[in-house]
Each structure stands twice: as C-alpha cells, then as structure tokens.
C-alpha cells in the first residue's frame, strides 16, 4: 500500500443547478497561497447559459489562469456569467 495522498484542488466548482437552460455554480478558491497578491480565498457565484459539466470545467480552467494573473474572483465570476 501507498501513503500517497493527493492535494485537494486549489480551484473547484460547486454546482447548484444544471439543466437545459443553463448552469449555476460557485467557483471556489481553497488556498490563499494560490492567489497572486495575497487576496483571500473565497467563492464567486456564476449563473451561465452554458449547459453541462464540461463547460463548468472549461470555466474553471479559465478562472485558474485568470487568478494566476491577478484577476479578482468577483471579476472572473461576472465574466463567466456572460458566457
């Protein structure tokens, strides 16, 4: 047996609703050290017309890159809602 324990993701989604009209989810930032300038971890609610869990994953990838560039979570959530 191995004692390997993977780290929890720094950025993940908590899906609230997903149907044919769109998806509502939170982008959650777990670790403070992930943020570029010491901003606090937290979450941002997104209500998007994009349908499907695969689109949530795409939003998370873009959100992770934007966070690494120093863009705030609130701005990211607002932009993701317009997709």
What is the reported pLDDT for 83?
Answer: 83
Backbone torsions φ then ψ of 8, nearest 5 degrees: -65, 155
Distance separating alpha carbons of residues 61 and 54, to the nearest angstrom: 11
Between residues 31 and 20, the one the model is more confident about:
20
pLDDT computed for residue 20 by the predictor: 94
Which residue, chain included where needed, has tokens 């966070």? 67
* Distance separating alpha carbons of residues 25 and 45, to the nearest angstrom: 6
pLDDT of the residue at 46: 93
Nearest to 52 by CA among 80, 17, 26, 81: 17
Task: Return phi, psi of residue 55, to 5°.
Answer: -70, -30
The pTM score is: 0.76
Q: What pLDDT, on a 0 to 100 scale, did the predictor assign at position 7?
A: 61
pLDDT tens-place string over residues 29-74: 876 555 555 555 788 899 999 999 999 999 999 998 888 888 888 8
The answer for residues whose C-beta is within 8 angstroms of residue 20's C-beta and 6 or more apart is 51
């Amino acid at each position: 047996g191995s004692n390997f324990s993977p780290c929890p993701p720094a950025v993940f989604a908590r899906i609230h609703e997903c149907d044919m009209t769109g998806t509502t989810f939170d982008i959650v930032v777990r670790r403070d050290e992930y943020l570029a300038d010491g901003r606090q971890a937290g979450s941002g609610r997104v209500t998007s017309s994009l349908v499907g869990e695969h689109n949530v994953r795409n939003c998370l990838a873009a959100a992770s890159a934007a966070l690494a560039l120093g863009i705030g979570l609130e701005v990211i959530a607002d932009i993701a809602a317009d997709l």
